[in-house]
Amino acid sequence: MKYEKLAKDIIKNIGGKENVNSLTHCITRLRFKLKDESKANTEILKDMDGIVTVVKSGGQYQVVIGNHVPDVYDEVAAIGGFSESSSESSEEKVNPFNKFIDIISGVFTPTLGVLAATGMIKGFNALFIAVGLFGKESGTYQILNIIGDCLFYFFPIFLGYTAAKKFKLNEFIGMAIGASLVYPTLAGLTALPAEPLYTLFAGTIIESPVYITFLGIPVILMSYASSVIPIILATFIGAKIEKGFKKIIPDVVKIFIVPFCTLLVTIPLTFIVIGPIATWAGKLLGAGTISIFSLSPILAGVFLGGFWQVFVIFGLHWGLVPVAMNNFAVFGSDPILASALGASFAQTGVVLAILIKTKNKKLKSLAVPAVISGIFGVTEPAIYGITLPRKKPFILSCVAGAVGGGITAIFGTKTLMMGGLGIFAIPSYIGSAGFDTAFYGAIIAIVVSFVLGFLLMFFGGFKDEETKEENKQNVLVKQETIISPLKGEVKSLSEVNDEAFSKGALGKGIAIEPTEGKIIAPVDGVLTTLFPTGHALGITSENGVEILIHIGMDTVKLEGKYFTPKATQGDRIKAGQVLLEFDIKSIQAEGYSLTTPVVITNSGNYLDIIETDKKTIDFKEDLLTVMI
């Protein structure tokens, strides 16, 4: 329930759940398809704590959340009743380019996490071989290689599922089409007979031997393992075929006759027509990409490295994902992702320079997580929270990224497998040759991009931002600081000898072992509750934060003895005002613990309650930060 309030606010400000056609998410963004984007309150969403920014691109309304987007997505989907297969009927016409980006995003996004994970395993396996940890003949290598290669080899099956969801085909039909493309017997058919019946397009890039026929029709056998274009096209056609059969087949037998007819038509059609055409298209696409790098590899690298973050902003990088995946399938490597390798590190270097130079507390608080996530390749917090709004830092990061792209081109660096992001991408550049020149090119590109981005920003005339008074007021509304009402030793609530507090039943917070017998007001607000016994106080801040201060354990039994109130229930109070005094020695002499919990009783209304990391604390020092 941590993100319940944020989720409700998001749904409210995108025009309500009735304005949503569909919802998906990627690493950092909620990706809505709205029926009417004009109903969304974009500026309100941008100003919310918990939201980095809002981007409208590729026919999608993208709410950038950050690394915790899966948790927010779950909450939004649960409250709104959304699913990734929500209706997409909308009167709005989407231009072909946006439609293409939307399809690519919908097909590839669900696989990226596992794809990156298996790529990392494959990369680390290559690293272990390179450093001599074990040999290629060892069982350890073989099993790790299976784990790292399984998803990519059987990729058509996974894409058959995601593409089927996108094109509204029965997902299991989509998977069956994908499975047929990687069926083990398929590869063996090329050996029967030893010589092909004949060869089509001999001497060209699409030269295709014919070994078998289907009902007398020649079948061009291709290797579809790891391929991406054939299954996407086959699933698209399969969806049209299924839709046609649904119209003519009686309801009583639809459940099995529709899949029967769809598979019987789509799979042979895929082998005879769709697969070869898609494979040829993939080869031409790959050859075209490689030829661009062949004509001017440095220029291509500089362009992609410099503009990659721009592509990310508009979602245009999705258009390059299938090209890169196709290059892996056709050539076993890809220069596109290699050219963009330094871009995230350039962005991170720029933000690190800002973090070091700025004295603005809010900017520092944004920069710290942006640097951390940037190291791991997630740059949206840096882009939308820091560099893009200030323009110059973003431009400098693009310059540094361009230099990194040029370096990978000079060294002939190519990505050898789909791997992780940021530093986890490094193993993706270790091939069978181990640490070769291309690998060192990747490392140099990372280091130079990061250092150059840092230096350009650090010495590039950075102008710090002064905190304006009105901005302070905004911060108070979005992030309220609770000062310490006591002086003493700070403890975790889990150390309190009372389960109501230690298990968080009464709310999140912290505990203090007092060394001075007085309580001061931790906020401006109202003293809403003062127990007659004086052992507990309830305070409500001007922003609605409800604070309970409970002095000691079981001290209610003292019936007010040793407690002296200095304010009355219902009083308006100011932060720092003395509310109550108590006699520490006398209470302890009676055998009572004075461990005092300070909890936010309406914690569920807020994004988070952040505790101080101090071991001891004085009056008026920051104790808790409430993320509103």
Catalytic site residues? 26
Instruction: Answer for the pair 80, 35: CB distance below 8 angstroms, yes or no.
Output: no
The full DSSP string for 199-223 is EESTTSTT-EEEEEEETTEEEE---
The DSSP output letter for 249 is S
Token pair belonging to 182: 């990687």
Sign of CA dihedral 480, 44, 97, 314: negative
Q: Which of 577, 588, 584 has the alpha carbon at shortest distance from 620?
A: 577
- Helix H, strand E, coil C: the string for 155-181 is HHHHHHHHHHHHHCCCHHHHHHHHHHH
Please confirm whether the linkage preceding 193 is cis (ω < 30° from 0). Answer: yes
Instruction: Answer for the pair 598, 474: CB distance below 8 angstroms, yes or no.
Output: no
Instruction: Answer for the pair 211, 137: CB distance below 8 angstroms, yes or no.
Output: no
585 class by beta-carbon count within 10 Å (0-12 exposed, 13-18 middle, 19+ buried): exposed
Q: Which of 131, 602, 621, 135 has the alpha carbon at shortest distance from 611?
A: 621
> CA 445, CA 351: separation in Å to the nearest integer?
18
36 class by beta-carbon count within 10 Å (0-12 exposed, 13-18 middle, 19+ buried): exposed
Residues 6+ apart with CB under 8 A from 31: 23, 24, 25, 60, 61, 62, 105, 109
Token pair belonging to 169: 């085909």
The H-assigned helical ranges of 84-154 are: 96-130, 139-153
Token pair belonging to 314: 């508009």
> CA 91, CA 35: separation in Å to the nearest integer?
7
> CA 532, CA 555: separation in Å to the nearest integer?
12
Name the strand (E) or helix (H) holding 256: helix 254-269
Helices 392-410 and 297-314, interaxial angle, to 10°?
140
Which whole-number Å values give the CA distances from 29 to 25, 63, 66, 581, in the listed order? 6, 5, 7, 50
> CA 307, CA 325: separation in Å to the nearest integer?
20
